Amino acid sequence: MSFDPTVRPRDHFTPRRGWLNDPNGLVHHDGEYHLFFQHHPHDLVHGPISWGHAVSADLVDWTELPTALVASDDEHMWSGSVVHDATNSSGLGSDGVGPLVALYTSFDPTTLRQAQSLAHSSDRGRTWLPHPDNPVLDIGSTSFRDPKVHRDGDGWTMVIVRADDRVVDLYRSPDLLGWTHHSSFGPEGSVEGVWECPDLVRVPVEGTDEAADVLLVSVSAGAPAGGSGMQYFVGELTDAGFRSTQPARWCDHGADCYAAISYADAPGTGPVVQGWMSNWLYADTIPAADFRGSMTLARRLVLRPDADGLALLQRPVVRPGTVACELAGTDVDGEQVLPVAARTCRVVAELEAGSAQRFGLRVRVGAGERTTVVVDPAARTIAVDRTEAGTSPHPAFAAVHTAPLPRRDVVRLEVVVDVASVEVFADDGEVVLTDQVLPDPGSTGLTVFAEGGTAHVRSLTVLE
């Protein structure tokens, strides 16, 4: 029994070959979602990074295209963003048609300099032309990276980190080419790791006409599940800059969601983000054959008021799926095996604690293997236990990741299970745990369980 790295995830993007980390340049344009990504096509570890490229109509099925920005000996293409310059403010479009414009960090492996460069595409992202005046923003730093640009009135705003300083800088530009420093935010919140991959999004407040500005910041160390993770600041963006209006919170209590940024121009209400499903602590130890690394599911963001302010909710973009098994109005005492064999599935459930001390789901169950999603109503927590989930490639991997669960009597769960991951969205996405797991392909069992009493299954649906 062991994990088989040649079996690909079904609903999570993986590169044809080589190494993948952060998503880059997420944009919806001309009916396509573009996912660019940090890519070393010739090796299974980080190295001279290019921008890989894939497109999708629905954020679930991806088609990989040729490498978009190719690394050279003196320029590695680090993380950044893409916008559609619809008004051709850059003047780089032809025949008055606005181009796609990428802003990315040029990393010089000799001097370690990190400066921001621009490339544009006039053929729907298929081919890219670096600007002759690159870099377009250079402060002479070895710790200045990950520009994320969005349209702002007539011009553009960029958020970018001074990573070692734990600062997000805002820059403004009328034309994407010339950038002026506007304001700075930080250090604040978690500062144990360096800051990376910022994004500033406007998120609607559920059930109201209101919205708030939310700053997403990835931190390379000190996250709740160990290693790298993401924090968010709810706040407001004014002419003076961004300021937080409540303390920082963690986006995810699992170990494996990093560097998530939003899709520019995504249709629908509220931002859609997607992250790298790994952790710098052990990313290069994950068993691999042809490729190493995958993305999380895309998630739509919304805010919901709670006792301390506003909570950021994440709702996954999923395949509708067909019902494989259903339960309703059943009591569980002990472990109930569900009549399905699922290597990949989605479970949607509403569970009530009853007298149980612990209850939840076990997925990817096999001989000696299981990943447990467990609610402890007295402690008001939900956890993903991957201590018996299969292969453990690193000492920090086999661990229990625990999140506070504000509502404790009825728990709404959406759990997306794939070949090498479990993503848990509890209470409508208010509590999220994203975890890689490395079970045997034959571990396909699914159970619902209650310990120390009886739990009540109001409803449970397994979708395949």
What positions carry a catalytic annotation? 22
Residue 282 in contact with ligand FRU, rule: CB under 6 A: no
Burial of 442 (0-12, 13-18, 19+ CB in 10 A): middle
What CA–CA distance (Å, rounded) separates 430 from 382?
12
- Whole-angstrom distance, CA of residue 209 vs CA of residue 265: 20
Q: Is 117 in the site for ligand FRU (CB under 6 A)?
A: no
Return the closest-CA partner of residue 230 out of 194, 261, 259, 205.
Answer: 259
DSSP states of 334-385 as a string? EEEE-S---SSEEEEEEEE-TT-SEEEEEEEEETTEEEEEEEETTTTEEEEE
Of residues 75, 196, 256, 423, which one binds ligand FRU by CB under 6 A?
196
Separation between Cα atoms, residue 456 and residue 316, nearest integer Å: 25
In angstroms, give the least distance from the CB of 105 to ligand FRU.
Answer: 5
Q: Specify which residues 33 forms β-bridges with.
A: 28, 56
> What mask, x for binding ligand FRU by CB under 6 A, covers residues 416 to 455?
----------------------------------------
413 lies in the site for ligand FRU, by CB under 6 A: no
Q: Which of 14, 67, 79, 392 is in the footprint of ligand FRU by CB under 6 A?
A: 79
Q: How far is the CB of 319 from ligand FRU (least distance, A)?
A: 28
CB nearer to ligand FRU: pick between 48 and 125: 48
Residue choice 11, 75, 85, 146 for contact with ligand FRU (CB under 6 A): 146
> Residue 273: which of 172, 170, 222, 197 has the closest Cα?
197
Question: Whose Cβ is closer to ligand FRU: residue 146's or residue 376's?
Answer: 146
Residues 121 and 99: their CA atoms lie apart, in Å, by 6
CB under 8 Å to 329, separation ≥6 — which residues? 456, 457, 458, 459
Closest approach, Cβ 400 to ligand FRU, in A, equals 25
User: Does 259 participate in binding ligand FRU (rule CB under 6 A)?
Assistant: yes
Q: Does 78 bind ligand FRU (CB under 6 A)?
A: yes
CB of 196 to ligand FRU, least distance (A): 4
The span from the CA of 426 to the CA of 288, in Å, is 30
Does the protein bind ligand FRU through residue 49 (CB under 6 A)?
yes
# chain residues binding ligand FRU, by CB under 6 A: 12
Residues 261 and 197 sit within 8 Å (Cβ to Cβ): yes
Residues 186-191: contacts with CB under 8 Å, at least 24 apart? 186/217, 188/233, 188/244, 188/248, 189/217, 189/231, 189/233, 189/244, 189/247, 189/248, 190/219, 190/222, 190/223, 190/231, 190/248, 190/250, 191/166, 191/219
Residue 30 or 164: the one with the smaller Cβ distance to ligand FRU is 164
- Residue of the chain from 55, 176, 197, 363 that contacts ligand FRU (CB under 6 A): 197
Q: Which of 11, 22, 188, 369 binds ligand FRU (CB under 6 A)?
A: 22
9 Cα distance to chain centroid:
16
Nearer to ligand FRU, 168 or 197 (CB): 197
Q: Does the footprint of ligand FRU cover residue 262 (CB under 6 A)?
A: no
- When binding is defined by CB under 6 A, the residue of 3, 5, 13, 21 that contacts ligand FRU is 21
Nearer to ligand FRU, 146 or 213 (CB): 146
Q: Please say which residue, 22 or 376, places its beta carbon nearer to ligand FRU.
A: 22
Query: Closer CB to ligand FRU, residue 105 or residue 296?
Result: 105
Q: Which residues bind ligand FRU (CB under 6 A)?
A: 21-22, 38, 49, 78-79, 105, 145-146, 196-197, 259
